[in-house]
Structure formats: C-alpha cells, structure tokens
C-alpha cells in the first residue's frame, strides 16, 4: 500500500473538512451538541494539525510570520490558536440560529460606532463594507441583516462544492451571496447607486494579474475591486470586523466612513485608496493576529515555494 506524505495527507484533510459531506457533518454536530463540546473538539483538531504539520497549518503560519515577529515556537502557538478560533467560529455559525444571535446577544457592539455605521447604511450614497478573514465575519454579516439592512456579498468567483454549501447557508440567513462575475459587479454598481450595501473581503489574493501593493510592509497582490466600485459609484468604504471574546461573544468593530481620495489620476487614486483601506485592515489583524485565518498564501505567488 502506498504511503501518503505529510503534504498528501494535508490535501486529504482539506478535501475531507472542506467537502460537502464534511461540512454537513460539522453542521449536524454543531446543531446537536453544546458549545463546550464544539470548542473542545476545535482545540483537539488544531493541535492535531500542528503536530501533523498539515498544509493548512503551514500556510497559516507562513502568513502570520508577516504580521508578528516571533520565533518558531511562538508562530506555531499562534497558528494553532488561529485554527482553534476558526473551529469555534464555524461551530458558532452552524450552532446559532438567527433568532439566537439576537436573543442571546451573541454579537456585541459600541452604540456610537453602530449609530454612525447605520446612518451610513441608510444614506443615499452606497456603502462598501470590507474586512479581513478575521474571526466570525459571517456572524457579523448576519447581524447586519437582522438589523434590517440588506447585503450583497461579493464572494470568490467559481466557488468549489464546499464553498457552495457555505454560500447556501449564508443565503438562508438573508445574505445575497454573489460570486464575483461581470453580472454580479453590475448588480453591485446598481445597488450602490441606489444607496445599498456591499460587503466583501479584501485580504485574500483573487488574481495575480494585478500589480502588487504593500501589506504589512511586503508586496502582495490583493483585490482592488472594492476601490474601483467606490470610485465609480461615489460610495464610501467602511472597515468592519468582529473578534471573539473569552466568554464566547463577539465584539463588533466599525470604522468611520472612508471617502475616496480623487487626484485626477485614476491609477494613482486606486493605489492611494487601496493603501488607506489596507492600513485599517492591518490594524484590525494586529489587534488579534491569533484570530486571523487566511489559508491561502498572501505574499507567495502560485508555484513559489515557501
């Protein structure tokens, strides 16, 4: 019998955890077991991935090395903690129904920040809410919907089977999930011009055809579509993230509205505004690097070795 290498085992693990069957099993466990068990299981899985040096663990560790200057042991600890936090977030997303999110006050917030953000959401100018893959961004989006604000989420183009399962769950919770395409971008432009809200992540490479920009001081090819949309529709950007607290609740953080700088040079406008937003994204990740779960290499191009 052929023995699998550590890398091959990693691929098998990702295939299992990210497959529809694996996700449905996770949903079933989360909906039928108490949080204490789910969190215990998340810790066991994170330690298992650390010991096995799975690709998910190694990629996460590599990304964190750009955020935190630390020795090997500290980076291992951070990567393990991030995987544990991710497991808890997925458990909570599957475990809590929309009515629970409100009744149990799972998402907590600063009243002044939310008052300002809700005014932006209700304004005739559109708002593009952006964030990193930090903690439970799904619960934050669901919370916005529960406050009465419709959202169009621009997600990864060409989602795989596992992503489609998650996207279906998001739709069930009231989020209009639209993988990036010509049609979805046209819909986004129309929504923004009507004063609507778009939400998207901006810390994951989608294409390597863009020019690199600085992210944590190193060149990375990150999305600029949100900036192009904001410039085209005269919309504001808003950096949003929520962090898991020791008591299991999530603390929502919302930036001030970000108006686009316009110099008359479109290429420069895109780069300047991209960096303005990424500076706030960097601050959000630095506030809790152990909750940043980016499982795609951010600074390494496809084919490059770590």
Answer yes or no: do 271 and 167 share one domain.
Answer: yes
Residue 17's pLDDT is what?
53
Is the pLDDT reported for residue 12 higher than 60? no
Is the pLDDT reported for residue 3 higher than 70? no
Look up the pTM and report it. 0.89
Answer yes or no: do 264 and 191 share one domain.
Answer: yes
Q: Is the distance from CB of 197 to CB of 129 less than 8 angstroms?
A: yes
Answer yes or no: do 195 and 253 share one domain.
Answer: yes
Is there a domain that residue 20 lies in?
yes
Is the pLDDT reported for residue 251 higher than 80? yes
DSSP H or E stretch at residue 176: strand 176-179
Q: Count CB-CB contacts under 10 A for residue 291.
A: 24
User: Which residues on neighbouring strands pair with residue 213, listed in sequence order?
Assistant: 220
Is there a domain that residue 304 lies in?
no
Q: Is the distance from CB of 211 to CB of 136 less than 8 angstroms?
A: no
Residue 292's pLDDT is what?
97
Nearest to 229 by CA among 116, 152, 156: 152
Answer yes or no: do 111 and 254 share one domain.
Answer: yes
Burial of 9 (0-12, 13-18, 19+ CB in 10 A): middle
| Stronger pLDDT, 277 or 11, i.e. the higher one | 277
Is the pLDDT reported for residue 1 higher than 50? no
Answer yes or no: do 217 and 87 share one domain.
Answer: no
Query: CA-based Rg of the chain, rounded to a whole angstrom?
Result: 19
Is there a domain that residue 72 lies in?
yes
Nearest to 230 by CA among 191, 177, 174, 176: 191
Residue 303's pLDDT is what?
62
From residue 240, alpha-carbon distances to 151, 237, 304 in Å are 13, 10, 32
Is the pLDDT reported for residue 110 higher than 70? yes
- Give pLDDT tens digits for 133-147: 999 988 889 999 999
Residue 22's pLDDT is what?
72
Is there a domain that residue 302 lies in?
no
**What is the percent of the chain with per-residue pLDDT over 90, rounded to a whole number?**
71
| Span 283-304, average pLDDT | 90
- Give pLDDT tens digits for 168-196: 889 988 899 999 999 999 999 999 999 99
DSSP H or E stretch at residue 285: helix 266-287
Q: Which of 19-33, 75-89, 218-232 has the lowest mean pLDDT?
A: 19-33
Q: Give the residue numbers spanning the domain of 200.
A: 103-288
Distance CA 219, CA 224 (A): 14
| Span 222-231, average pLDDT | 96
Answer yes or no: do 13 and 37 share one domain.
Answer: yes
Provide the pLDDT confidence category of residue 13 given band limits of 50, 70 and 90. Answer: very low
């Amino acid at each position: 019998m052929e023995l699998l290498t550590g890398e091959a085992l990693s691929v098998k693990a990702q295939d299992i955890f990210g497959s529809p069957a694996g996700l449905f099993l996770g949903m079933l466990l989360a909906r039928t077991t108490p949080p204490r068990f789910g969190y215990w299981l998340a810790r066991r899985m994170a330690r298992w991935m650390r010991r096995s040096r799975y690709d998910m663990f190694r990629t996460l560790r590599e990304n964190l090395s750009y955020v935190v200057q630390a020795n090997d042991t500290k980076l291992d600890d951070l990567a393990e903690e991030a995987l544990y936090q991710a497991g808890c977030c997925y458990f909570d997303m599957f475990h809590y129904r929309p009515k629970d999110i409100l009744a149990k006050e799972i998402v907590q917030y600063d009243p002044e920040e939310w008052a300002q953000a809700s005014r932006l959401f209700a304004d005739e100018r559109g708002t593009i809410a952006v964030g990193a893959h930090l903690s439970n961004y799904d619960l934050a989006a669901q919370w916005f919907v529960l406050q009465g604000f419709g959202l169009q989420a621009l997600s990864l183009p060409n989602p795989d089977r596992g992503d489609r399962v998650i996207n279906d769950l998001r739709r069930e919770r009231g989020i209009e999930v639209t993988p990036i395409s010509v049609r979805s971008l046209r819909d986004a432009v129309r929504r923004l011009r009507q004063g609507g809200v778009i939400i998207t992540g901006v810390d994951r490479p989608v294409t390597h055809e863009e020019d690199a920009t600085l992210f944590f001081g190193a060149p990375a090819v990150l999305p600029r579509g949100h900036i192009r949309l904001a410039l085209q529709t005269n919309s504001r950007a808003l950096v949003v993230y929520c962090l898991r607290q020791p008591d299991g609740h999530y603390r929502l953080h919302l930036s001030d509205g970000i108006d686009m700088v316009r110099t008359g040079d479109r290429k420069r406008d895109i780069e300047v505004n991209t960096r303005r937003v990424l500076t706030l994204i960097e601050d959000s990740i630095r506030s809790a690097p152990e909750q940043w779960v980016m499982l795609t290499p951010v600074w390494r191009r496809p084919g490059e070795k770590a």
